[in-house]
Chain A
């Protein structure tokens, strides 16, 4: 028994020693990232947006209504006659950015909209990147027929512009926002499959993979233990950059009119659709303000992603 525990002890020790460089590496990465002030500002803005989204889930009543999944609770009158109030400080905090269609206050609905926009975007990018990463890494590592077939399939997805492909797939699935999400997942994985395939190909030719194979590691084990962790950083950068484009695409599809049956859903693209009602009357705030709110997020995500790329790309750092 004593022998066993001492044996276990050495294993444990070896493990902690093995881990330390990774932890230091992470600390170093973090330090480099924080140093890049612009990227850090982007990161903080993204965090604020995420915090609002979480608040929408855990304490929706901060917005002053009982149900934030529809703008119905804010509607004052279902007529488009009359002019919505402009940005003003005199009607209290929620009316600071003015009103939009049906005299709904813009500010709280904009905050509620993040629940839809950010949740769906994260779901899309997360599932798309996981599936794509797995297929791409396996394809890059094992190659041969499987690789050829997968790459030809991604070719097809690349031969149609994403927005148009999303339109076609959503039309087939039926008009609803859930189907928009499914359609975007269906078209989004090939990006990751291609990206990770390239990285896996370059990792495959490394000496340590050869060493692992020589010491009896199977192909699947190699993929999960040696290749995937190295692919992750590239995927993570792409993930953060894609969050911005997906939010845009999602809003665009909603704007085109795929949100059948939910005309009052708080969603930034939908809010822009409401705003177009008053476009020719020269009422600018229902269009400009939700758009800026969306733009701040996409710019912040891009700044953060660029910063992450600089830090995580081993060729660029040090």
Chain B
């Protein structure tokens, strides 16, 4: 099959998956008591009696109708980008708005962590995989095993204790701040015009916005804030990539073409670089999708521990305030991100290995 047909087919396959996901979310929403669903739609200051307000909200949401029709109402709202309403102090009342405000921060953490872990894991995995059963290999095994077994939120707490500023009294290595995405004390009192509701414009990422607007101290501060969450996230997926990279290296070095390359006198460095590592990358790419799933799960806990204002932190706030639409909306958004990443992984896979077409 040609590559573009493969990509087209893969994209078309997304539709049933996303529809299935929306049905699943709808079943979950249907299981929630209706009074909880309409709560954010009510206005306590309105002169209209509450009973009528509830009826209006139910009509608006389509929840008065049988389930299949109510689902169509839900789907219609989703297609218009409307994930429902929420009522939480300090946040916008639209779930979509709140998630869009927080999403850049989550993406920033996951992308930084992915880049860092790939940048470490590929060379390290190559080094270890070329020397199976050596001391470095044993150390790598212990490292990736603990990475697998380590609960992400506990690692986050440990890093706060070890490297966090102001945790252990007089901690000599405590340099990194432990909560938030920037230090609010660095913002002048009438906040600059690019600050709206605690978020910065235009990207919502303090790191980039402070650079754009030339606020250098804020830039350094926001970089410091990102270090610990990214380190925590990195450790978990680094272990996974390292494990697969090592296995791929060992597997590839037993292949006939490696023996051929060696016997015709190709220098060992080139054999490792061109013949073994390139082939070891293929199985590693396939597991990236799984690792992204772990990454997105981990980011919720890590944002909670570091109070980093991303979608994960927003979700945990929503749990404490029982905001059904927010939690369901965030679940859907995380699902979409995962589905799209899997698409990218599959396409990358097909691009790197011309033998593979489904």
Using a CB–CB cutoff of 8 Å, the interface residues on chain A facing chain B are: 152-153, 155-156, 158-165, 167-169, 171-173, 175, 244, 248, 251-252, 255-258, 272, 275-276, 279-282, 284, 287-288, 291, 294-295, 298-299, 301-303
Contacts and interface: CB of A to CB of B under 8 A. Distances in A.
A272 B157 contact: yes
Contacts of A244: 148-149
Contacts of A282: 161, 167-169, 171
A160 B331 contact: yes
A291 B338 contact: no
Given A279-B157, A280-B166, A167 B327 contact: yes
Interface string B130-170: 00000000000000011011111110011011000011110
A164 B169 contact: no
Contacts of B322: 171
B32 interface: yes
Interface stretch (B57-65, B67-75, B203-211, B312-320): B312-320
B148 A302 contact: yes
Contacts of B320: 257
B151 A248 contact: yes
A288 B149 contact: no
Contacts of A162: 293, 297
B335 A171 contact: no
A168 B335 CA distance: 12
B160 A295 contact: no
Best-surrounded residue of B145, B154, B293, B324 (most CB of chain A within 10 A): B154
Interface of B: 16-18, 20-21, 23-25, 28-29, 31-32, 145-146, 148-154, 157-158, 160-161, 166-169, 171, 178, 293-294, 296-298, 300-301, 304, 315-316, 319-320, 322, 324, 327-328, 330-331, 334-335, 338-339, 342
B146 A295 contact: yes
Nearest to B155: A291
Contact of A168 (B145, B153, B304, B331): B331
B158 to A, nearest CB: 7
A291 B29 CA distance: 35
Contacts, number: 140
B297 A255 contact: no
Nearest to B31: A172
B331 A165 contact: yes
A136 to B, nearest CB: 18
A244 B150 CA distance: 10
A288 B158 contact: yes
B267 to A, nearest CB: 33
A163 B297 contact: yes
7 contacts: A164-B300, A167-B315, A168-B25, A168-B331, A172-B29, A172-B31, A302-B145
Contact of B20 (A156, A294, A301): A156
Given A161-B297, A168-B28, A279-B167, A299 B146 contact: yes
A160 B335 contact: yes
A29 to B, nearest CB: 23
A255 B327 contact: no
A301 B328 CA distance: 33
A284 B174 CA distance: 14
Contacts of B157: 272, 275-276, 279, 287, 291
B1 to A, nearest CB: 21
Contacts of B148: 244, 298, 302
Contacts of B21: 156, 159-160
B330 A164 contact: yes
Contacts of B168: 282, 284
Contacts of B153: 252, 255, 272
B319 A167 contact: yes
Best-surrounded residue of A279, A288, A301 (most CB of chain B within 10 A): A279
Contacts of A301: 149
Contacts of B328: 168
A301 B334 CA distance: 29
